[in-house]
Every structure is written in C-alpha cells, then in structure tokens.
Amino acid sequence: MPLTPAKIQHIQRQVIHWQASHGRHDLPWQHNVSAYRVHVSEIMLQQTQVTTVIPYFERWMQDFPSLSALAAASEDDVMAHWQGLGYYSRARNLRKAAAHLADEHNGEYPNDLKALNAIPGVGQYTAGAIRSFAFNDYGPIVDGNVKRLYARLFAIDGEPNSSAFNKIMWQYANSLTPEASGAFSQGVLDLGATVCKKSQPLCQACPLQSDCLALKQQRIAELPNPKKRKIKPVKDAHFVWHTDSADQLLLIKRPSPGIWGGLWCLPQHDEVPANSELVGEFTHQFTHYTLNAQVWRAAADQVNEGLVENGKRMAEFRLQSVHELSAVGLPTPIRHFIENVIALRQPTNN
C-alpha cells in the first residue's frame, strides 16, 4: 500500500478517533503521567502481560516514587520488588538508568530520542514510548502488537523476528507516527492488543478494516507469518540445601550479569555433591532452554565447595530464615521450591 500524505493522515485520524472512544485510558501509568512512570511501566511490560504488571507497578511506585528514590535504593530491595516478573536484567537496568540520568541529565529525562536511547536498558521502542506518552512528541513505536497490526494492514510477509521484517515495521512506524504522537501511539498499541489479536481478531470493530490488505486478501489467519520453531535444549543443574539449627537456609547472591543475576539463590554445583541426599526436583522453562534442577541436602563442607577457593570466599552469602523469605529477592522457581519443601514439613491437623 503506497503511503501517500493523504493515506497517512487518514490512518492517523482513524486510529486517534478510535482510541479516544474505545482505547485504554485507566491503566495506572496513564494517570499522573511522567517520563519516569512511563519508563518503569514500559520496562515491566516487556515480555509480560498488562494484568500481571499492574500490581508490581503500583507497589514499585509506592516504594520508589521517583528517580531519586530508585537511585537511593539497594540492589536487594529493587530485586525483591521485581521477583516474579522475570527477565531480571530489566530491574538492574532501571537502577543503572536512575544513576545515568542523575549523572548525565541532572535527574531529568531528556526530550530527545537519541538521548533517551542512550539510557541503560532503553531501546528504540522504549525511547519512542517515553517521548510519545510523557512528552506527546514524535516517538515511533513497534512492539509485538504493533507488528501484528502493521503486518496485516499492509499484508507484509516475513519472519517476524528477522532484521529485514523489523526494518520494514519501523519504516511504517516512522512514516505513520504524527509529530504529537501520544494518542496515535496508544491507539496502535490498543488496537493490536484488543482488536487485531493473534487469534479471533475483531476485524469488524477495527477502524482500519476498509484499509486492511490482509482482510481484503483473506489472509488474516496467516499474518504475521509464524515464527520458526526452535527446539529448546535441556540443561541440568544441581543446587544445595543447607540449614542450620535455627532453620536458616544458606543462600548466595547470583553474579551479574547472568541468569538470575543479583538475586539470592540456593548454591549451585556442577555435579551432585558427595554424600548428599535428594531433597527434590523442579523444572523451569527459560526463553531459550529448559532447566531440569535437582536440590541436594549436603553437609557444611560440601556446601563450601565452590564458595571458597584458596581460602578466599568467592560469593556473597547469607543465612535466611525459611519463614522470612519475603525479605529477599529470589528467583520464582527457587522460591516455589523452598516454600513447597517448608509446607511439606508442616504438621497436618486431622
């Protein structure tokens, strides 16, 4: 579809008019709008459903209501607020962003796409979202919902995660986004999320139905093209369970960057510790692989293996009461495993 100035203005008007009447207006980050609130919400929403994010966002804003509050918070406190959301590098990057903005921009968000893109953890999409929603200035955005909308609207084939496909998506976004882009950007997000859905799209409710090439060609179900399926590798892991007489569990802090970086975790070993007994097992699905984990009860000397090398302690550790786990940030599968073990130890009332 050729994007003439008239066609661009038509699409802009349709999206903005629809958003005003049918779009989402009551999400918590849409009230008391600030660049900081937009930034936090967009980082939380990466790979995460809106309904999941809302309670995390509200708790975050209660405890870290400003950039300065976030910059002053400890890593442990930040990670504890993030536990359960996954992709923990996002939380670490938010802390880095607060320090970056304090050092480079006097604690303020710049109204410039290039400067926004230079903030740790802020990519092309998030920079556009901050500029669009916080400043109502030109801020093109492309996420999964927008990709689906544009792929159908313009009947675009291609591997959805390929650089060539993404380049086309951004070309359309750059051309379609108006100078004052807040309502338009929210509109394309809302259309993709609530109308142009992956399955059972509500085409008859779409303000762009008369323009949609996929609808005219009866190709809605095949666009965007399916992603290439990849077989996930399986990785084995061995964790150690060690408690003292006060029912305190040994935890170590995972290094950053890396899986679960910055979180507290059961010590991990490359092999089954000698003279140990199996406490239990769990499986966890990461994006790129499946983790099969076994947890072993081991003696103190076995626990220290891997934590101490040449007399020097190699990892930060703590003894944490199994009844006060909420005080520390733990990976969700580790937390669930610990809670299940503790629950099994509780006496039942018959």
Residue type, 215: L
Which entry of 42, 108, 277, 309 is annotated as an active-site residue?
Answer: 42
Question: What is the distance between the alpha carbons of residues 329 and 81, in angstroms, rounded to a whole number?
Answer: 7
Place of tokens 């090398």: 309
* Omega prior to 257 cis, within 30 of 0: yes
- Cβ atoms of 41 and 68 within 8 Å: the answer is no
Three-class SS of residue 179?
coil
Amino acid identity at 317: F
CA geometry: angle 57, 59, 60, nearest 5 deg: 60
Residue 234 contacts residue 290 (beta carbons within 8 Å) = yes
- Compute the Cα dihedral for 320, 325, 330, 334 and give only its sign: positive
All residues at 6 or more sequence positions from 335 whose CB lies less than 8 Å from its CB, including other chains: 83, 325
Say whether 277 is catalytic: no
Catalytic residues: 42
